[in-house]
Amino acid sequence: MIGVDLQTIETSKFESNYFAVTAFCDVTQYDETLFKLLCAVLKKGSKQYPSPLAVQRKLVHHYCTPLQTYYDQIGENIRSYTGWVSFPHSYTTPVDQHEIGNVLLDLFFAPVLHEHEIEEEKQILRYTSDAPTHNLTQYAKNRCMAYMTGFVNQKKEDQLTSLEGVTAQSLYQFQQKLVHATPVLFQRIGQVQSEVLETSRNMRRVKAIALHKPVKKQTTPQVIYEQMPIKQTRLILGLNLTRPLCDQNYPLLFLVTSMLNQRLNRVLRREEGLVYYIFVELDLLHQIVLIKTSVPDEKRQNVTDLILKHVESIQAGEFSEQEWHFAKGKTMHYLAMGYDLPDKWLAIARNHYITGIDSLDTSYEEILLHCNQEDMLEIFKNLNLHTIYHLSGKEGGGS
């Protein structure tokens, strides 16, 4: 394990605090499937709170929301697992933040691993190993991201092989290896120190997160063709940002995606009827813009050329005042929605934390209100076409 990080994030909008504990693992050193399985059972309980009900009772006693968890890919071969809760700023009884931190840390450092729960989670992992092909758009996106970032995604056969023979004892031994490899960010395991809380509150980055590497610039885009017995091509164009994000320019990247989204939807889907859908997605964590669409096999090259034509057109400043104002309004609405949902807000805070963006309030409103077209174009011109990915029913390059 690379490290374990504790964050406390205060919000004025929701009048609550967020407590999040995240473990980072380098899956080139350890088996990714074992780490996934361990993450699935960590929330089941600890030695001090040996069941999910005991954990929940302790959290409720401190006016916390139910424990939420998620598993994610952070950088090349880096995986993370986060457990988080939120609690109000003030209540009739003062909230003991140290106690809440101890509950979450105990789940990481002193878990209770029951054989029957491990078997249940193994069965879920066996089922979900087939899941990517059930959603072809998500599968295509994952494959494109893999080519852009170098992520190592375990094959289904390797995942199933890793699961066989895993017992509570072997999983506990694996967990102990991770714990002993973890840098000591706390003076004593299970004890949250006030200076650690203060450091986390200031959103200082830890060494584990510094391993996040930006995608390298491509002089010419790589074109990838993969086959699957399907009737429609899933086409994804991946663009990466070639300059670092900062507090002042990160909202403009959302503005770029909004401008692209409305233009491509209007022209390719509504006016020309060439695609079944088209959507522009921003991966802020890796500073990648993905243009995702589904097209008939025979139209994929035509659609690719049209997308590139409109990307270059907007980069050259060829858009109307109406498009500009609509994109700004849409971006404001999208970001406001994210800040209005507590779980989305925590994801935004996590992404900012990793990318080095410090602002966690609604300062994006001021930036968007006062930005001009030149500000957006400066960001847009730093987007580089990195990958063109085709998942098709026909052989690579064919039409």
Mean pLDDT of 351-365: 61
The beta strand positions in the chain, using DSSP E, are 3-11, 16-26, 68-75, 78-88, 222-227, 232-241, 277-283, 288-296, 383-392
| Residue 316 confidence (pLDDT) | 92
pLDDT beyond 70 at 342:
no
Mean pLDDT of 362-367: 72
The CA-based angle 341-356-222, given to 5 degrees, is 95
Question: How many beta carbons lie within 10 A of that of residue 133, not counting itself?
Answer: 12
CA-closest candidate to residue 137, choices 73, 224, 232:
232
pLDDT beyond 50 at 141:
yes
Residues pairing with 17 in the sheet: 10, 87
pLDDT band at 212 (very low <50, low <70, confident <90, very high): very low
* Domains of the chain in sequence order: 3-211 (3.30.830.10), 222-392 (3.30.830.10)
126 versus 47: which is more confidently predicted?
47
Distance CA 228, CA 395 (A): 9
Distance CA 385, CA 362 (A): 30
pTM of the model: 0.74
Distance CA 389, CA 74 (A): 22
| Residue 35 confidence (pLDDT) | 83
Instruction: Judge whether 207 and 26 are in contact, CB under 8 Å.
Output: no
pLDDT band at 91 (very low <50, low <70, confident <90, very high): low
Question: How many beta carbons lie within 10 A of that of residue 35, not counting itself?
Answer: 22
pLDDT band at 99 (very low <50, low <70, confident <90, very high): confident
pLDDT beyond 70 at 395:
no
Percentage of the chain modeled with pLDDT above 90: 22
For residue 223, the SS3 value is: strand
**Hey, which of 143-152, 300-309, 364-373 has the most confident mean pLDDT?**
300-309
Mean pLDDT of 156-183: 76
Q: Which of 83-87, 165-169, 275-279 has the lowest mean pLDDT?
A: 83-87
| Residue 187 confidence (pLDDT) | 31
Q: Is 340 exposed, middle or buried, given 0-12, 13-18 or 19+ CB atoms closer than 10 A?
A: exposed
- For tokens 């930006």, the residue is 214
Mean pLDDT of 13-18: 69
Distance of CA 317 to CAs 255, 322, 380, 388, Å?
14, 13, 10, 23
| Residue 309 confidence (pLDDT) | 95
- Radius of gyration (C-alpha) of the chain in whole angstroms: 23
Query: Left if phi > 0, otherwise alpha if psi is -120 to 50, otherwise beta: which for 212?
Result: beta
3-state percent breakdown (helix, strand, coil) of the chain, nearest 5: 50, 20, 30
pLDDT beyond 70 at 1:
no
pLDDT beyond 70 at 193:
no
Task: Please give the distance of CA 26 from its chain centroid, rounded to a whole number.
Answer: 17
For residue 169, the SS3 value is: helix
Q: Which of 61-65, 73-77, 103-107, 378-382 has the lowest mean pLDDT?
A: 73-77
